[in-house]
Amino acid sequence: MSDRLDPDAPARRLLLGRDLAAFGERTALVTADEEISYAELAARVDQAGRALGPTRRLVLVAGANTVDAVVGYLGVLAAGHVVLLVPDEDRAIESLTRAYDPDVVCRTADGAWRQVERRRGSAHELHPDLALLLSTSGSTGSPKLVRLSYENLRANAESIAAYLGVRDGDRAATTLPLHYCYGLSVLHSNLIRGAGIILTGLSVADACFWELFRAARGTSIAGVPYTFTLLDRVGFDTMELPHLRYVTQAGGPMPPDRVRRYAELGRRRGFDLFVMYGQTEATARMAYLPPDRALTHPSAIGVPVPGGALRLAPVDEAPDGIGELVYSGPNVMLGYAGRPADLALGRTVDELFTGDLARRGVDGLFEIIGRRSRFAKLFGIRIDLQHVEAGLESDGIRACCVAGDDELVVAIEQAERRGDARRLVAAGCKLPARSVRVLVLPELPRLASGKVDLRAVAALAAEPVPAAPAAVDGTDLRLLYAEILDRDDVTDDSTFVGLGGDSLSYVEMSVRLEQVLGVLPVGWHTTPIRQLRAGAGEPSPRRRRTLDTGVALRAVAIVLIVGTHADLFTVRGGAHLLLALAGFNFARFHLTDAPRRRRIRHLGASVARIAVPASLYLALVALLDHKYSWQNALLLNEAIGPRYGAQRHYWFVETLVYMLVALAAVLAIRRVDRWERRWPFLLPVGLLTVGLAVRYDLIPLSFEDNFTTPATLFWFFALGWAVAKAGAPWQRLLVTVAGVVAVAGYFGDPLREAVIGVGLVLLAWMPHLPSLPGLNRVAGMLAGSSLYIYLIHWQVYPPLQRLSPLLATLAAVVAGVALGVVAGRATQWLGGLRFRQRAPRRLRAHQVRPRRLRPTFR
């Protein structure tokens, strides 16, 4: 049984308790309804402590962000009793009540704060130094508790107040729950300096929070990484917060780019950003990054807090310079408790082995590399799950990873990124794609601290997986969409455009669908699969086969380009027809109903699918053939010259990329995005009008000026865009007439103008052309490889041209198709490479080998 309270016990010397009255009439707590002075708070705390009686007891306190909970907590602590601080949730309260049998339970019930005595006196033997019991980081209601002493609380509060420079005029908002060690440390470090607390349970995503914060003249905000995600959503960077002095971040690593961004914002707006590192086992804080180092070292956790020390303990199989981070200081816990009998124990821990792998830079700053406990081993590869998550975060995918027996489960919130997540993780970790399962959740489950609830995710991942739909005679449309678009989230309500399809994947999909459906319905790319499914099955031999007009025109255009260059025939106009087709496909696949950001992201990915292979190929060509230069490799020849000779061979690719990048920038503007959605046909017609003003020299441009090729030829692109958005017959007629009239006489070559004019008429009025199965396959192959045929034909046909123009043309086409196959197979590898390059170095997964730490996130 416990002893009676000793007035000279450590609790009586704890500033957080009895000495609150020393700050007099200074404001202690501010809520939406009242302000409470330190003198009044001290009186309420004293009353709460006296109500517990003279015998030292174990008191469970439900830690809500309310005045009653703060008074109750401080009252128990100040009177020398032991606080078991838990979330204000029935499940956690019931679980820990069963596990530790507290003498008193203080919580909100029926709208009022109640103190329920479960017995008179105490059933426990409580060590004299024991002050507070908290759940370990990441657990809620777990019987494993951290035992903290009065000295732990005092030392850490003083340390935090010192490096933050807390002033008595400060007012800190409770953006985190009281039962979480980070939220609790905000209370401690401000009360110990006589500063004010803005006490609220509102989220930073709530406008009422900011009204209270401004009215109370708030000076500091604390947040975990998820808090900063919410701050981004509510436009924190534009808020007027005249009294804000500093912002703190802890509770897990935040992406370096976000750290840097908030540090830069603070420099502009007059507040400091403190990135901090800690664990419940160290009361709260172990390290902090001085604000002036956040811009230059955004990945670091910084230096030890005042009074503490950090060292690196050797770890087997880790490379030199990397070890487990070990902390020592007066805030290190007494030890763990797993049962009531452990509350009688004294100190069992002298220093804290954090479980984090870290290194120390030459500048003395520590940096976390990974966590030892979150490694999974699949197919002989050791993978750091935390680094996989951070790498995905850098790619814009919020994720939580858990490992099964033979698979890696990646839980995400963004259904449209399912395929990206699976592909990036498989490529980055060198795992078979079948061993990566993506679990889409409405929202990642989180603890009250804002951290992802790993146990909840693991439980969801362990649930039985519904069987995949079986193929029906090889024609199941969902499986076909999943195969071509590399998506595993295909449903009967999915559409080609909704799943991220673009002009490149459109070719293969249209040809394959035509084999299944026989005749592709108009607008199939925006039609849900359930509506297309009715036509699934092998087409009848008598059934007319058709070919998508856009696919046919692409195939014809690329053959005309190559054949003309190889002198097999002279029929020009293919490149300009391809520009119109590019505008047509831009409108169909990128100007969808998707949100603006998703539109821009989709367009950016499509631009990359053109620009990246072109740049890589031209870089190789420039090394082997001095007719080409670095301007070609960087797609800058049209921009900076020289605009003549062989270096102009690739004007078409550069012009198309310039146009798409410019349109992405323009459509990223909210107002333009709204205009396009409101007037989908009127906007391209307006742009076509401007383009035609250039075509007819109403806006004169010199062909010798840089960038004139995109400017003078944009009207072809706008023409295709307008055709795609022309829904009514009168709209199609208007665009057709405008296009044919504008093309007539433009080149002074009737045949060339006829090629483009006929192509425009077919595109506007005939969605599909009669065809044959074999012809469809050839056209699909040519259209799908058109970019690669265009790239390589300049190197293939010249040596063979004199021998045979036909052979030269066929060789160039075959070489282009082969290059397209190679590029397609390299896509997954390039995706992994992009992921690895974008992820911060410290966030990459690792494969541990003897004496080395080799990266597997490649």
| pLDDT value at 446 more than 90 | no
Per-residue tokens: 762: 């077919």
How far from 786 is each of 507, 560, 575, CA to CA, in Å? 10, 11, 11
pLDDT class of 229 with cuts at 50, 70, 90: confident
Give the whole-angstrom CA distance, residue 215 versus residue 218.
8
Q: Residues 416-426: what's their mean pLDDT?
A: 82
pLDDT for res 580? 94
| pLDDT value at 457 more than 90 | no
| pLDDT value at 607 more than 50 | yes
pLDDT tens-digit readout, 742-780:
999 988 899 999 999 999 999 999 888 887 777 878 888
Residue 86 burial (10 A CB sphere; 0-12, 13-18, 19+): buried
Do the beta carbons of residue 152 and residue 286 sit within 8 Å? Answer: no
| pLDDT value at 858 more than 60 | no
Of 46, 87, 113, nearest to 183 by C-alpha is 87
Bridge partners of 378, per DSSP, are: 381
The proportion of the chain whose per-residue pLDDT surpasses 70, expressed as a percent, equals: 84
Do the beta carbons of residue 435 and residue 408 sit within 8 Å? Answer: yes
Per-residue tokens: 847: 């494969």
pLDDT class of 822 with cuts at 50, 70, 90: confident
Of 415, 401, 408, nearest to 437 by C-alpha is 408
By residue count, the chain amounts to: 858
The residue that leads in pLDDT, 271 or 470, is 271
Do the beta carbons of residue 435 and residue 406 sit within 8 Å? Answer: yes
Of 424, 437, 426, nearest to 463 by C-alpha is 437
> 624: how many CB neighbours lie within 10 A of its CB?
9
pLDDT tens-digit readout, 662-696:
999 999 999 998 899 889 999 999 999 999 998 88
- State whether residue 498 is helix, strand or coil: coil
Mention every residue, 6+ apart, whose C-beta is less than 8 A from residue 626.
Answer: none
Q: DSSP string spanning 691-742?
A: HHHHHTTSS---TTSTTHHHHHHHHHHHHHHHHHH--SHHHHHHHHHHHHHH
pLDDT for res 482? 72
pLDDT tens-digit readout, 43-69:
999 999 999 998 999 999 999 999 999
Residue 857 burial (10 A CB sphere; 0-12, 13-18, 19+): buried
pLDDT tens-digit readout, 458-516:
888 877 655 444 333 334 677 677 767 766 667 777 787 777 776 667 766 777 776 66
Cα 665–Cα 666–Cα 667 angle in degrees, nearest 5: 95
pLDDT for res 520? 66
The residue that leads in pLDDT, 573 or 430, is 573
pLDDT for res 737? 95
pLDDT tens-digit readout, 247-260:
999 988 888 999 99
pLDDT for res 711? 86
| pLDDT value at 650 more than 80 | yes
How far from 427 is each of 74, 114, 439, CA to CA, in Å? 52, 56, 18
Mention every residue, 6+ apart, whose C-beta is less than 8 A from residue 827.
Answer: none
Give the number of C-alpha atoms closer than 13 A to the C-alpha of residue 554, restricted to the C-beta side.
29
Of 512, 525, 711, 500, nearest to 606 by C-alpha is 500
pLDDT for res 137? 52
Q: Which residue has the tokens 């966030």?
A: 843
The residue that leads in pLDDT, 164 or 89, is 164
Alpha-carbon dihedral 156, 159, 165, 167, rounded to 10 degrees: 50
| pLDDT value at 11 more than 60 | no
> 8: how many CB neighbours lie within 10 A of its CB?
8
The proportion of the chain whose per-residue pLDDT surpasses 90, expressed as a percent, equals: 50
Bridge partners of 409, per DSSP, are: 402, 437
How far from 511 is each of 472, 552, 795, CA to CA, in Å? 19, 10, 29
Give the whole-angstrom CA distance, residue 769 versus residue 766.
7
The residue that leads in pLDDT, 734 or 356, is 734
Mention every residue, 6+ apart, whose C-beta is less than 8 A from residue 312.
Answer: 322, 323, 324, 325, 326, 358, 359, 360
How is the chain split into domains, by residue range? 10-360, 379-464, 490-543, 550-794
pLDDT tens-digit readout, 341-361:
999 999 999 999 998 889 999
Alpha-carbon dihedral 573, 575, 579, 584, rounded to 10 degrees: 70
Do the beta carbons of residue 378 and residue 403 sit within 8 Å? Answer: yes
| pLDDT value at 175 more than 90 | yes
For all residues of the chain together, what is the average pLDDT? 84
Of 791, 818, 764, 759, nearest to 554 by C-alpha is 759
The residue that leads in pLDDT, 491 or 729, is 729
Do the beta carbons of residue 117 and residue 68 sit within 8 Å? Answer: no
> 790: how many CB neighbours lie within 10 A of its CB?
23
User: Regarding the domain delimited by 10-360, which CATH topology (the fold level of the hierarchy) does it fall under?
Assistant: Rossmann fold (3.40.50)
Alpha-carbon dihedral 797, 798, 800, 802, rounded to 10 degrees: 130
pLDDT for res 832? 44
Give the whole-angstrom CA distance, residue 808 versus residue 476.
41
Lowest mean pLDDT among 123-127, 272-276, 638-642: 638-642
Beta strands in 31-144 (DSSP E): 35-37, 58-62, 82-86, 104-109, 112-117, 130-135
pLDDT class of 365 with cuts at 50, 70, 90: very high
Do the beta carbons of residue 551 and residue 771 sit within 8 Å? Answer: no
pLDDT for res 9? 54
Alpha-carbon dihedral 592, 598, 617, 651, rounded to 10 degrees: 50
User: Regarding the domain delimited by 379-464, which CATH topology (the fold level of the hierarchy) does it fall under?
Assistant: GMP Synthetase; Chain A, domain 3 (3.30.300)
- State whether residue 505 is helix, strand or coil: helix
Per-residue tokens: 572: 């020009």
Cα R_g (the chain), whole angstroms: 34
pLDDT for res 547? 81
Q: Which residue has the tokens 């534009």?
A: 238
Cα 172–Cα 178–Cα 181 angle in degrees, nearest 5: 95
Q: Residues 703-725: what's their mean pLDDT?
A: 80
The residue that leads in pLDDT, 753 or 433, is 753
> 55: which DSSP letter?
B
pLDDT for res 834? 44
